[in-house]
A and B are shown apart, each in its own frame.
Chain A
């Protein structure tokens, strides 16, 4: 196929792309940090012995798993100001929507990890006089985390890619910035090739790092 590739127009807009990349990274980091902390808390509640906590966490997770992120994003951006009278900025809305969604999936990964830890591990902790908190911190969570790690990694990768949805509420992250450049240069192939490469550059080291950490652990599960 004859196509005259010309990346000079993309390079000419590198400042805008860099700024979009920074926004993508900030939204990703914010969502990952908040979503992970919330997801851990919800996942622990989901495995709690208290029925009320368990039920509340189950409702939270199941409702959020049902809502497409795009719908959540648009609802938060356009409906929240009407319902609550507050109008968060685009990036804040994107971080909120992605965090909420990630937390639900993260909670399920945590629950899966906790379920994989044999009952005997709790018993062994109790038998030597460890408190429930000590048992969770030192015995249960490290093992559960090991099991959940691949799923959590996949969620992080997915969250970073989903930041592109923030473009629908006019957040100048990478994709929205790219679209702006396309509109002015009429070079969509070059722009989106660079965007694809950018995502690969961001995500590949993350994937390699976690795989490395995973393979470094010498211990095997009971």
Chain B
């Protein structure tokens, strides 16, 4: 059953239509991977689904309750919704003036209403789960790219969201770190979290996806199982994209 559902989402910036008519369902305990060429609107889709950007039209339903266009402005309901839909950004956006542990624990303290000690304990617990517990006292600038990715996932996951959106999180990682991230995603999915992942990395998509959505020029042009979309699709646009990516690899 879909925990998050978007229907006919549209979004434009300065007269340029980025999302045209996007409908998709994100089921719990599964990984939905969004692939597509640069500029297809993948990141905008994640930002709209987490209400960081306001869609121009369309509908978003979370747990069978309408969250868009129902929730608007920066009110408490919208903040609560964002807590339940975690987002890991392509550029991670860790807070450079806070240590890794503070990056994870601050939202728990401010948005999750935990005490400083409880938040710190929970932060350390999450750093353990992503295997960077020894780096809690370091600043983001003092750790590697792969460690930063895991810190960003820990920050998003510490609030125990029901949906986790991941934007190109493996784009700058070596194979070992990609494998570590894959393990983290698998553990998150085992907990029943719905994962919506944007990637250019077809091999990674094959390894983690339950469902694939191909986004092109702001619209969904193919969707289905990994086999249906990546291997046997009749959609020439999807085929061309996959061939190009796999040739480049």
Measured CB to CB, the residues of A under 8 A from B are 118, 120-121, 123-124, 126-132, 134, 138-139, 142-143, 146, 217-222
Measured CB to CB, the residues of B under 8 A from A are 47, 50, 52, 74, 79-80, 82-83, 86-87, 89, 91, 93-98, 106-107, 110-111, 139-142, 155-156, 159
Residue of chain B at shortest CB distance from A134: B110
Residues of chain B with a CB closer than 8 A to A127's CB? 50, 52, 82, 86-87, 89, 156
Residue of chain A at shortest CB distance from B53: A123
Q: What would 5 A/B residue contacts be, using CB atoms closer than 8 Å?
A: A124-B93, A127-B86, A127-B89, A128-B83, A130-B111
Q: Would you call A131 and B139 a contact (CB within 8 A)?
A: no
Residue of chain A at shortest CB distance from B141: A220
Known: A120-B91, A219-B140. A129 touches B107 (CB 8 A): yes
- Report B121 CB to chain A, min CB distance, Å: 18
Determine the main DSSP class of A at the interface with B: helix
- Report B110 CB to chain A, min CB distance, Å: 5
- Report A120 CB to chain B, min CB distance, Å: 4
Partner of A124 from B83, B95, B142 at Cβ < 8 Å: B95
- Report A126 CB to chain B, min CB distance, Å: 6
Partner of A123 from B74, B80, B89, B97 at Cβ < 8 Å: B89
A120 and B43 CA atoms in complex are apart in Å by: 13
A126 and B73 CA atoms in complex are apart in Å by: 12
Q: Would you call B89 and A124 a contact (CB within 8 A)?
A: yes
Residues of chain A with a CB closer than 8 A to B83's CB? 128-129
Partner of B97 from A118, A120, A134, A146 at Cβ < 8 Å: A146
Residues of chain B with a CB closer than 8 A to A130's CB? 79, 107, 110-111
A129 and B93 CA atoms in complex are apart in Å by: 15
Known: A120-B89, A123-B89. A128 touches B107 (CB 8 A): yes
Residues of chain A with a CB closer than 8 A to B96's CB? 143, 219-222
